[in-house]
Amino acid sequence: MSARLGGNGSFSRGARGLLARLQNLRSHNAPDAPALSLRDPWPGDPSRGARLVKGELEFLGALLALPAGAFHAASATPLLRAHAHGFTWLRDLRALGTDAARMRARSVISDFMDTNALDPVGLTPDVTGARLAAWLGHYDFFAASAEDDFRQRLMSRMVMDARSLHAALPTETLDGRALTALKGLLAASVAMPQHVGYLPRVLKFTPPELARQFHADGCHIERSPAAHMAALQDMIEMRTLLQAAGVEPQAELLAAIEKAAGALRALRHGDGGLALFNATKEDLPSLVDLVLAQAGRGRGNVGPLAASGLYRINAGRALLLVDAGAPAPAGQDRFAHAGMLGFEFSWGKERLISNLGAAPANGGAWRDALRGTAAHSTLTIADVSSCELRENGLGRRPLHVLADRQDLAGMHWLEASHDGWGKLFNAVHHRRLGLAENGEELLGEDLIEAAQPQPFTIRFHLHPSVTASLQQDDGAVLLRLTSGQGWRLRAQGAPMHIEESVYFGLPEPRRAEQVVLQGHQDGPQHVKWTISKL
């Protein structure tokens, strides 16, 4: 990003970093308290707060112990460690609201400030920005009534962190974390204007960062509903901070919030939760509602998402969401899954077909398995994912992803293809989906175009609330929703059966089922299927 925004950026950043270190060594001057009281606008979870009082940090289903000295350890995934060092979990202690929660917050923050050799994750610009915003946003909760020594150390540390963050801008981070860094420096500049006068620098970098972070349809560049909502939350906080400082929010920021809010509405199912693409869980509908209410502008607008390749098709009470776009580019693909042409289907407030969710804060097999193609409602060739999964993104990926949406003869059609297996098998996956105008029938076709026939599997992952039963002739599967509503899945070109599965879209893993169509090299490479309301 240095070349994008700042000329000889690496040299400039290095010089600013050296200056910040000299200032921090030379000056211990810091305010006695924030000049302006800030408040974190997002709700916490008192049950997670209770676990924190006992020394356990829970995040996205993963657990991290927080004993003394925890901040120099590197025994968890980078995402979980970043969450610990970012202190956004202070809102969970605030939600608990007890004296024990307040004292726990002070104790953990004291331990952080006493740690000389911090885990490097805690020094990155985005984590530093998250920490500054969290400490300032919860200052009245944990620090206002604390002893003078604690408050003085806290304020000095925040001034030091703000100087270091200022020196790191423009950050090399290419994804949504750059917005978090800007937000943190903005919070410090607003709350400590006499000691951290960096507001002009934040205003300088915000418009080009917003232009780079979002597609033309308002969807975040990472193509993850969870990352998209987090970016929208950061922008909402930035707008609020500018208003608190008496500064008119930039037109680019207001426009980005409005478009991102419309995109977030488009990424929701009828139950109010998020679609499970690219490291996303369902999330609490109440939190999504709050984010949209805080966004405010363009209330009720649902944005079209063709530019990002995430397609939303509504018909009657049915909703079809499809990932028919290219994965996020390198450097912005930390949450990317190999879910090419995967889809989710819901009826009213009930989910029927889904992807399996994610465990991005977990290490090991589950995190990787949930990123693979087989964890999505799509086709897999030879049990190989359509993209190569790496620790921080993707390696091999499709070179060509095509999609075309049309409305013809009472049907809403989406035709898409990708060549994710081109280098391995010289194969292209074509998928055609058609949703009837009344929403009561979904038609699908999957075709493999390859020089040599390939073995393949087509999966329909069912939401845990759905039960499946194979009908006597094995030619159809009856799907029953919690409400009692029934649907029938039929297929031609491959035999079907039902297998067990595990769903990670909710806070805790749940048992689920999947309908599997198995194709062989010596069989048809073209499968047609229908899902019809009974």
Q: What residues contact 390, with CB distance under 8 A and at least 6 apart?
A: none
Residue 374 to residue 485: CA distance in whole angstroms: 27
CB–CB of 534/489 below 8 Å?
Answer: no
Domain boundary among 266, 281, 304: 304
In terms of phi and psi (left: phi > 0; alpha: psi -120 to 50; beta: otherwise), the region of 469 is beta
In the chain, the number of structural domains is 3
* Averaged pLDDT of the chain: 92
Write out pLDDT tens, residues 103-133. 999 999 999 999 999 999 999 999 999 999 9
Query: How many H-runs (helices) and E-runs (strands) does the chain carry?
Result: 16, 20
Residue 211 counted as domain residue: no
Residue 85 to residue 43: CA distance in whole angstroms: 19
331 and 479 co-located in one domain: yes
The answer on pLDDT for 434 being more than 70 is: yes
Residue 493 to residue 449: CA distance in whole angstroms: 15
Residue 281 counted as domain residue: yes
Q: Which domain holds residue 499?
A: 309-533
CATH number for the domain spanning 358: value is: 2.70.98.70
CA-based torsion, 180, 57, 339, 394: positive or negative: positive
Model pLDDT, residue 175: 92
460 and 340 co-located in one domain: yes
Which tokens hold the place of 429? 């996956």
Residue 462 counted as domain residue: yes
286 and 323 co-located in one domain: no
181 and 123 co-located in one domain: yes
383 and 519 co-located in one domain: yes
Residue 215 counted as domain residue: no
261 and 396 co-located in one domain: no
Residue 260 to residue 61: CA distance in whole angstroms: 27
460 and 433 co-located in one domain: yes
329 and 392 co-located in one domain: yes
259 and 332 co-located in one domain: no
Residue 266 to residue 253: CA distance in whole angstroms: 20
Buried b (16+ CB within 10 A) or exposed e, 272-304: bbbbbbbbbbbbeeebbebbbebbeebeeebbb
Residue 371 to residue 357: CA distance in whole angstroms: 9
Write out pLDDT tens, residues 16-25. 454 445 455 4
Residue 216 counted as domain residue: no
Q: Comparing 233 with 9, which gets the higher pLDDT? A: 233
Write out pLDDT tens, residues 146-192. 999 999 999 999 999 999 999 998 888 889 999 999 999 999 999 99
**How does residue 9 score in pLDDT terms, banded at 50, 70 and 90?**
low
Model pLDDT, residue 299: 63
21 and 48 co-located in one domain: yes
146 and 61 co-located in one domain: yes
Model pLDDT, residue 485: 95
Q: Comparing 376 with 18, which gets the higher pLDDT? A: 376
374 and 502 co-located in one domain: yes
The answer on pLDDT for 11 being more than 50 is: no
